[in-house]
Amino acid sequence: MSNTHSIVLSAVYGVDTERLAKAVCGLADGSMIATVTGQSDREVKGQIQNGDGKYGVVLTPERAFCDCPDSTFRRAVCKHGVALALTVLQTPEIEVEERQPDLRLKRMRTSDELACDQVRRAA
């Protein structure tokens, strides 16, 4: 399991059942849309759009942060934090293949060759 998954699992485990149910229902019926904007070994960032507005969420191993009033006043995991966590859990991790640039020198075409190509295309 990746460190990202352990971060988001701590958010899911730390939420009360009412907020978990709201997040699951919101994601299922499309009334809540979660967008992951960044992931690292230390945090997961995202935005949650729902009928109330758009909220920024940051999940860390220690805590879930959201700028919604519920999270701000209760200092606990809100439905937006859980929605982001569930989105990360259901999205497969993609292995990014790092491509090396092709730095080999290639033959440049002369201006005569370019002119001939233009004549052929025009004909």
pLDDT at 107 over 80: no
Domain boundaries along the sequence of the chain:
3-90
When the pLDDT of each residue in the chain is averaged and rounded to a whole number, the result is: 85
Model pLDDT, residue 99: 65
Can you give 22-78 as a three-state secondary structure string? HHHHHHHHCCCEEEEEEECCCCEEEEEEECCEEEEEEECCCCEEECCHHHHHHCCCC
Q: Label residue 47 by pLDDT band (50, 70, 90).
A: very high
The reported pTM is: 0.71
Model pLDDT, residue 46: 94
Average pLDDT over residues 18-37: 94
